[in-house]
């Protein structure tokens, strides 16, 4: 089975690539367009959208180096959690040094969620990756999530001099602290 | 790899060559870096990937993080910062930047100081206005104080007593005048019935007692009212001529007692 590796290709000059992974297509596409709209003029960003890993091998040579993977989960759909869990083993271990983050949507709706927040938190702490919360349905919130992702992407692609993805990860607050405080 | 500083030679052609040389040098440097990157990338590609077990991922991940962080740290320690070649153009550009920053900061400073100045001017103006008002107040109060002092000093005890005495004598004289004139008017206009009048009427009235003049009737009434206000009623006896009593009653000068018709009193005009 093919493994998605962070440094298996040379980087494209001045371009940063982000991969959005999630079960539902439309929110991912909307988020992708929002990201492209937000970074108009500043930097070149490529957005790839997929529903599960492994990525199809027939287009392997055309694909650029992936700088950031975002796993998109919805708190109301167990299916999304399962797809993410199924895709995680296909990611190389080196990606989890700051080039992966989890995005959770649907937190603002009524509290009867299918997935408990703890399950998501445990997954984020198990992989030591940052957990972001965002609402992808309202446009202005989508734009702010896009801005956040662009910031992280710039750092992960190495476009920010002096700051590496690992530095960013070390500076972010880990999820583990939160759960320990709660329990 | 460091850039060697070439001495700028005079002449246009040589300057252009110098510029081109520098560009080439930078491009050379970039090419070198790219080749290094390709080498490293090939080595990485050869090492192969590592799969993570989801249930048991934390420890290997943390170990990997530790290793990478120490490697990065060492890299940072080894690296010496590259100096940008200090030639005239770079210096000029840097200098321009610094001066622009300075100019911007000074402008901000200027605007803040000006606004502060304005505020202070306003405060000064307001305070000045208040001060003027207060001073006017003080001046007017001082004048009033002086006037009052001037009025107060001439007043002494003797003077007040003398003034009171003169007032009293004046009032007494006035009172006397009033009473005498009242008596004259009464005697003139309200005389006692003469003996030359109708004998029949006289006999009807039975004037046994001596009749009092209007003056005397009024005197009795006034005295009784003033000296005994709790019991101002005067009993009518035969010395009161009935027509005069009727006149007094009808004109409202005297009032009859509620229960006893033979008692009258003077109307209390002074109350």
Domain-wise residue ranges, chain A: 17-182
The first and second tokens of residue A128, run together, are 């030591």
More confident residue, B16 or A5: A5
pLDDT at B220: 85
- B194 alpha carbon, distance to own chain's centre: 82
Whose CA is closest to B72, among A96, A167, A2?
A167
Q: Are A21 and A69 in contact (CB under 8 A)?
A: yes
Q: Is B36 part of the contact surface with chain A (CB cutoff 8 Å)?
A: no
pTM (global) more than 0.90: no
Cβ atoms A4, A52 nearer than 8 A: no
- Specify the CATH superfamily of domain A17-182: P-loop containing nucleotide triphosphate hydrolases (3.40.50.300)
Query: Where is pLDDT greater, at A181 or B176?
Result: B176
pLDDT at residue B9 in the model: 42
Residue A146 tokens read as 């896009």
B31 part of contact set with chain A, CB < 8 Å: no
Nearest to B65 among A8, A85, A97 (CB): A97
Cα separation, A68 vs A17, whole angstroms: 7
List all residues of chain A from 88 to 117 with a beta carbon under 8 Å from chain B.
88-89, 91-94, 96-97
**pLDDT at A172 > cutoff 60:** yes
Taking CB atoms and an 8 Å limit, are A93 and B38 in contact across chains?
A: no
For B55, nearest residue in chain A (alpha carbons): A126
Q: Is the ipTM of this structure higher than 0.90? A: no
- Are B50 and A166 in contact (CB < 8 Å)? no
Q: Does B137 touch chain A (CB under 8 A)?
A: no
Distance from CA of B65 to the nearest CA of A (A): 6
How many contacts does A have with B, using Cβ atoms within 8 A?
63
Which residues of chain A does B41 touch, with a Cβ-Cβ cutoff of 8 Å?
7-10
Contact B51 A94 (CB under 8 A): no
pLDDT tens digits, one per residue of A122-167: 888 888 888 888 888 888 889 999 999 998 998 888 888 888 888 8
pLDDT value at position A2? 63
Helix (H) or strand (E) run with residue A67 in it: none
The closest CB to that of B69, out of A10, A128, A170, belongs to A170
Question: How does DSSP assign A1-56, residue by residue?
Answer: ---B-TTSSPPPTTEEEEEEEES-HHHHHHHHHHHHHHTTTT-EEEEEEESSSSPP
Q: Which residues lie below 8 Å from residue A139, measured CB to CB, with a gap of 6+?
A: A34
Which among A108, A126, A103, A51 is positioned nearest to B57, based on CA atoms? A126
Is the per-residue pLDDT at A180 higher than 60? no
- Is B57 an interface residue toward A (CB < 8 Å)? yes
Query: Which pLDDT score is estimated for B1?
Result: 33
Range of A45-59, A67-81, B171-185 with top mean pLDDT: B171-185
Is some CB atom of chain A closer than 8 A to the CB atom of B84? no
Q: Which residues of chain B have pLDDT under 70?
A: 1-19, 49, 52, 54, 85, 153-155, 195-209
DSSP designation for A108: S
């Amino acid at each position: 089975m093919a493994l998605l590796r962070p440094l298996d290709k040379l980087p494209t000059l001045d371009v940063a690539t982000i991969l959005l992974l999630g079960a539902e297509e439309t929110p991912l596409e909307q988020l992708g367009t929002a990201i492209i709209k937000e970074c108009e003029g500043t930097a070149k960003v490529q957005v790839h959208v997929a529903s599960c890993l492994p990525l199809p091998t027939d287009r392997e040579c055309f694909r650029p180096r992936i700088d950031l993977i975002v796993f998109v989960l919805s708190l109301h759909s167990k299916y999304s959690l399962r797809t993410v869990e199924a895709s995680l083993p296909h990611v190389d271990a080196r990606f989890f040094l700051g080039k992966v983050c989890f995005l959770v949507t649907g937190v603002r709706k009524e509290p009867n969620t299918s997935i408990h927040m703890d399950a998501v938190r445990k997954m984020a702490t198990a992989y030591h990756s940052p957990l972001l919360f965002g609402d992808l349905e309202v446009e202005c919130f989508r734009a702010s999530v896009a801005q956040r992702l662009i910031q992280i992407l710039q750092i992960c692609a190495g476009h920010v001099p002096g700051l590496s993805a690992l530095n960013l990860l070390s500076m972010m607050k880990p999820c583990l602290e939160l759960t320990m405080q709660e329990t | 790899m460091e850039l060697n500083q070439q001495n700028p030679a005079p002449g246009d052609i040589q300057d252009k060559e110098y510029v081109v040389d520098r560009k080439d040098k930078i491009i050379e440097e970039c090419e070198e870096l790219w080749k290094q990157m390709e080498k490293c990338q090939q080595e990485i590609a050869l090492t192969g990937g590592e799969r993570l077990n989801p249930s048991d991922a934390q420890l290997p991940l943390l170990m990997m993080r530790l290793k990478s962080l120490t490697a990065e740290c060492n890299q940072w320690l080894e690296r010496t910062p590259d100096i940008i070649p200090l030639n005239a153009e770079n210096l000029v550009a840097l200098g321009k930047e610094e001066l622009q920053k300075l100019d911007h900061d000074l402008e901000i400073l200027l605007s803040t100081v000006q606004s502060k100045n304005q505020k202070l001017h306003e405060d000064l103006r307001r305070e000045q206005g208040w001060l003027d008002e207060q001073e006017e107040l003080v001046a007017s109060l001082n004048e009033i104080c002086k006037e009052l002092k001037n009025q107060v000093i001439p007043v002494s005890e003797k003077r007040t007593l003398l003034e009171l005495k003169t007032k009293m004598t004046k009032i007494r004289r006035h009172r006397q005048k009033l009473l005498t004139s009242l008596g004259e008017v009464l005697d003139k206009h309200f005389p006692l019935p003469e003996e030359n009048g109708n004998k029949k009427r006289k006999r009807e009235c039975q004037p046994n007692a001596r009749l009092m003049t209007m003056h005397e009737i009024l005197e009795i009434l006034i005295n009784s009212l003033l000296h005994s206000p709790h019991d101002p009623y005067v009993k009518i006896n035969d010395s009161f001529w009935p027509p005069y009593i009727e006149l007094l009653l009808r004109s409202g000068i005297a009032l009859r007692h509620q229960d006893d018709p033979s008692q009258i009193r003077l109307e209390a005009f002074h109350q």
